[in-house]
Structure 1
Amino acid sequence: MSEPVTLRVLGTSVTLLESIRQRAEEELGIRLVYEIHNVQQAQRIAVMQPERYDLYDQWFHNVDFVWPAGAIQPIDIRRIALWDEINDLPKRGRLHTSDKLGAGSLPSERLFVQHDGKLGSQPTERISMLPLTHNADSFAYRPERLPDTLAATEESWSWLINEGWCGHIALQSDAAIGALDAALALQAAGLARFENLGNLRLDEIDQLADLLIKKQHHGHFAAFWSDDQEAGRLMLDPAVSIQSLWSPTLMQLHRAGIQYRLAVPKEGYRAWFGGLSLSRRAEGRVKDAAYAYLNWWLSGWPGAVMARQGFYISNPPRARDYLSAAEWDYWYDGKPAREELPGSDGLPLIDSGERREGGSYAQRMGHISVWNSVMDEHNYLVRRWNDFLRARKAA
């Protein structure tokens, strides 16, 4: 009898959960190794060392790095049994034709491998990444610390640069994400106007960086975070009252008894779409195991686990089979929780009567301002973003 295949999955703690790994091993009969790093480290390994992983668990905007580098190979959708069940959001950029298309790196524009080897939205039988988890992100704040000047105003990205929060704001440190939050804030405040929020020109990047550095010279931002664990620690710190946030961090805040609100910005959410890409080095039995794992992710149980930490899956009806009616009503339909609901770790998370900010799945994913993006001038953005991260309060 041959040894079980070992499948190595590179990614972050956002979706590489131990409960997922154990269940997949049990059901697929493989040995599954999760290689967990922060966003930048995982991205660097994915691009430069495809021999170190078999699958890359990451976001669609990262495809803009790994595909041109030749680090990943196309996925054949003919080997994905439930491909037709995946909804229109990753395939066409929106759930409904009446929804506004967000700016930035739309999953649909980098999903299909075209006949010339480039990526595009024209459907083919090969894709760059299997679309799976996704969400609409914003920022969280401590309502008891809301400045009086904002008490009667509608939630807005501009709050991240409002002087009333000065010295108590945290941002995500990755330029492909944090810079978008900052750009949304500056534009919402009327301090800048960007022609294409998801793809800034050189002069717009300079404008963004210069305005942020000026803010930082009087200590406007308290901290920067690189993963959801670090984000949670910051939000528990009395020094931080408002910050951009990912959904898993909410579990930490719930469990710590912290009162917070996840904003529904009037300008719209910053959205992301994640999935799995196949390393160019995967072949033979490993490649077969990779396809089994890809199909398993669409089978329902993983999508239910993701729902319990606030994420959506690309074929929601399958996940519904593994969620209670109360869970589905809360996570997907935006209704008040009829009972106490568990988190992805199985422990109590949502109290009876709570309602998810932003409403239903269709409402939240139909209110997207921009997708996480890799801009044409990404390298320059990173340099200027690092100038900002290094800026210090003036003496």
Structure 2
Amino acid sequence: MSQTLRVLGTSVTLLESIRQRAEAELGIRLQYQVHDTQTAQRIAVMHPERYDLYDQWFHNLDFVWPARAIQPIDTRRIALWDEINDLPKLGRLHPDDRLAHGSLPCDRLFVQPDGRLGSRPGTQISMLPLTHNADSFAYRPEHLPAALAGREESWSWLVDESWCGHIALQNDAAIGALDAALALQASGLARFDNLGNLRLEEIDQLANCLIDKQRHGHFAGFWSDDREASALMLGPRVHIQSLWSPTLMQLHRAGVKYRLAVPKEGYRAWFGGLSLSRCVQGPIKDAAYAYLNWWLAGWPGAVMARQGIYIANPLRTRDHLSRAEWDYWYDGRPATEQLPGSDGLPLIDPGEVREGGAYAQRMGHIGVWNAVMDEHNYLVRRWGDLLRTAR
């Protein structure tokens, strides 16, 4: 192996099975730098010399692109670029799907002639669109309060007093605050003009309401990665919390009875991919492009599917999934046989159905995308006030 490629990111996509397979097929050495979201983001912005590829989410581009930490990707060097679907390019899979609020991938995908990011197509992009999902929250059905039994699932449950003391949220302001804003608006406790871009007074309204609730112990915990989230849900205190798909797989494997909510207000969606460090050049850059192309070739997408995550060109992935796997993960049909997880071990039992339905149904029910707001710095300060109250 003549080249070493350093990939900075999180445990969501930097899996050991992916690394080993890529090394074997590409003939390069891969060094995965796995951190929590905020640490990875800080390194990406401040130390582009420490990594070659940044594996993160589109809303993080609002930090790394202005800092000139990454360089454009040339789509002419991406063999399967035309196979990537319309979700990251246009913001929706189908023309009749609603355009959700938040940091839409399409608004920061293409590099414009003036160097800014925008939606006007071109041959240079900021990030290669790859993994994505529609997230919500999970809860333990045996602890469902009687007052909520039979009701349509709603983000408002995260601030419902019936769950007081048994709720957990993600601790990143760009994600956790969105879940909280969805909850407060759904409950009628607050009203926001644009969920993905709160004004200063709306941020104060959000923070003050959450702090008031936390003063009587409303939230049992805040988590930074899927391991912490899993530990909270496996413990005795947390009965409901916002979750990412890898955590759901861990709970599934542990035999925990849970339900992933399909909120009537819509999912909070995210879109991830890979960006090139500004410091990458020469043979390492060639190796980086080989890795980018490899991610679209099908096999990595199948691994992601087995932990509930979609890929931007799903038809290539279909060739690497069994018929039963494709039917369950992408078509929303009942599992006809036992299905493996991303580690190859049994995960899904026959007869189980994925909550939310097929791929198109789930991605057509997005309420808001993960977002970096205009007043992000102020949001972080006020979100920090809440976290300090929770200690």
TM-score range, shorter chain: over 0.9
Cα-to-partner distance string for 1:106-151 (whole Å, 9 max, x where unaligned): 0000000000000000000000000000000000000000000000
The aligned runs of 1:92-111 (5 Å cut-off) are: 92-111=90-109
- Name 1:369's counterpart in structure 2: 367
The corresponding residue for 2:126 is 128
Q: Work out which of the residue numbers 169, 172, 177 in structure 1 matches 2:170.
A: 172
1:31-42 map, 5 Å: 31-42=29-40
Following superposition, the deviation at residue 4 of structure 1 comes to 1.1
Partner of 1:240: 238
Look up the SS of the partner of 1:252 in the other structure. Answer: helix
Correspondence for 2:320 among 319, 322, 345:
322
Selected match of 2:9 from 8, 11, 28: 11
Shift, 1:392, TM fit: 4.3
Classify 1:272/1:392 alpha carbon distance in 2 versus 1 (closer, same or farther; 3 Å): closer
State how far apart, in whole Å, the 2-side matches of 1:126 and 1:53 are.
21
Q: How does 1:1-395 map to 2 (within 5 A)?
A: 4-392=2-390
| Counterpart residue type for residue 272 of structure 2 | G
Q: Distance in 2 between matches of 1:155 and 1:277?
A: 36
Secondary structure of the residue aligned to 1:103 is: coil
Query: In structure 2, how many angstroms separate the alpha carbons of the residues matched to 1:4 and 1:27?
Result: 13
Aligned length: 391
What is the TM-score of this pair, normalised by structure 2? 0.99
In 2, Cα distance between the equivalents of 1:319 and 1:270?
24
Give ranges in structure 2 of 5+ residues lacking alignment.
none
Cα deviation for residue 256 of structure 1 reads: 1.2
> 2:114 and 2:167 mapped to 1: Cα distance?
45
Question: For the residues of structure 2 that align with 1:11 and 1:256, how far apart are their CA atoms?
Answer: 26
- On the 8 A contact 2:108/2:119 being kept in 1, the answer is yes
- 1:89-112 residue CA offsets vs partner (Å, 9 max, x unmatched): 000000000000110000000000
The letter of the residue matching 2:347 is: L
Which amino acid in structure 1 is aligned with residue 332 of structure 2?
A: G
Give me the CA root mean square deviation: 0.7
Moved over 3 A (4+): none
1:145 to 1:75, Cα distance in 2 relative to 1, 3 A = same
Q: 1:252 offset after TM fit, Å?
A: 1.3
- Cα deviation, 1:279-328, whole Å, max 9, x if unaligned, reads 00000000000000000000000000000000000000000000000000
Aligned identity (percent) is 80
Q: Normalised by the size of structure 1, how large is the TM-score?
A: 0.98
Rounded Cα–Cα distance in structure 1 between residues aligned with 2:252 and 2:128 = 31
Q: CA deviation at 1:363?
A: 0.1
Which structure 1 segments of 5+ residues have no match? Answer: none
Aligned to 1:45, the other structure's residue is in SS state helix
Quote the offset at 1:159 in angstroms: 0.2
CA–CA distance in 1 between the matches of 2:57 and 2:222?
Answer: 20
CA, structure 1 residues 22+392, in 2 after alignment: closer, same or farther (shift >3 Å)?
closer
Checking the alignment, whether the CA contact within 8 Å between 2:53 and 2:274 is kept in structure 1 is yes
For residues 275 and 101 of structure 2, the distance between their equivalents in structure 1, rounded to whole angstroms, comes to: 23
Match of 1:383, SS? helix
| Deviations, residues 219-250 of structure 1 (Å, cap 9, x unaligned) | 00000000001100100011000000000011
Say if 2:219 and 2:390, in contact at 8 Å, map to a contact too: no
SS in 2 for 1:391: helix
Aligned-partner SS, 2:285:
helix
